[in-house]
Structure 1
């Protein structure tokens, strides 16, 4: 009887969403000052060329787990769609962190009737050809984080500073060919 050596299992292949998730994590690390912009560009190039999970894991291994801000014990709101529409509106409680990802669909985050117990909220957006729209009440501020990419496709008509006692939304946006649009609700 001839024995053959066992074949190594093929490495698991990564998909576009996996590459985008790693790219987002790298952009956030750059925004936090954990890697510089030159290293960010180098790692992003490797991330988008990666074929396997192992190749992606290597790019973020030295970053460790993402640390949450002190007191951030609530779970993020994660909204993902490829082609459908997601409307988050009406009365809802705003968590400290929101993740909105769309391929060709539309995600609307309407904060006008929302209850926000936090002074700072982070909204992380990734969109392919789709759109993400944010509608914030009067008094709220929205600032676009410096780690955002394709900022020409992020259009904000909201104030950048929050009024005293009102929340400030930090947008970390990564639109490819889609758009992120932000507007301030009208008074009344």
Structure 2
């Protein structure tokens, strides 16, 4: 954590002014397609909003094309989702299968096991942050080949924080930024077993 001592910048930035990625723009266009299918938008409205979405530079601009759509609004606004929290003391937690990846994931493990598998997950974001904290247990993270894994933080007392997902990255696929902290346990990031993607 960096503290520059400047109290003027101590508050969080206005999320509406944060820049958006191509993946987020494509995600919103997909939401607009669903709205047409539900009869919420005409084809003319869809075309106009798609143009606005694809040219949006900030979250405020991007979210403005969804703001008046009932139901969809609360599920799909970019940057408003809650982080996924996976926590266990001495048990087992598994996040596998087809699931939608949020922008931020927190994995907190005492003596148990947490397994997070992104292999068949749907990730609408270009970047995802994972904060993994382990006591004496294990957090295993499985990422598809092509994903970029950036080990931002690796802090360990007598355990380990290991990134084995080192295949060549595909620039069109997501970046996973990992902040790993271990007491006596293990945080391990790897690709799926076998040669397939």
For normalisation by structure 1, the TM-score amounts to 0.62
Cα shift at 1:145: 0.6
Give the Cα–Cα distance (whole angstroms) in 2 for the partners of residues 139 and 76 of structure 1. 24
Q: Give, in angstroms, the shift of residue 34 of structure 1.
A: 2.9
The Cα of 1:92 is off from its aligned counterpart by 0.3
Find the counterpart in structure 2 of residue 34 from structure 1.
3
On the 8 A contact 1:78/1:98 being kept in 2, the answer is: yes
Distance 2:121 2:96 in 1: 7
Alpha-carbon spacing, 1:68–1:156, altered in 2? closer, same or farther (3 Å): farther
- Tell me, what secondary structure is at the counterpart of 2:94? strand
TM-superposed deviation, 1:162: 3.2
Residues 1-188 of structure 1: pairs in structure 2 closer than 5 A? 30=1, 33-34=2-3, 64=10, 70=18, 71=59, 72-146=79-153, 148-150=154-156, 153-159=160-166, 162-185=169-192, 186-188=194-196
Q: In the comparison of the two structures, how many residue pairs are matched?
A: 132
Q: Which runs of 5+ in 1 are unaligned?
A: 1-29, 37-60
Checking the alignment, whether the CA contact within 8 Å between 2:145 and 2:167 is kept in structure 1 is no
**TM-score, normalising length: structure 2:** 0.60
CA RMSD of aligned residues (A): 2.7
Alpha-carbon contact 1:138-1:187 (below 8 Å) kept: no
Q: 1:160 to 1:67 in 2, by over 3 A?
A: farther
| Structure 2: gaps (5+ residues) | 19-58, 60-78
SS at match of 1:145: strand
Displacement of 1:65 after TM fit?
5.5
Give the distance between the partners of 2:180 and 2:9, measured in 1 at CA. Answer: 20
Q: Following the alignment from structure 1 to structure 2, what is the Cα–Cα distance between the partners of residues 125 and 67? A: 24
CA–CA distance in 1 between the matches of 2:134 and 2:4?
24
Distance 1:35 1:123, change over 3 A: farther
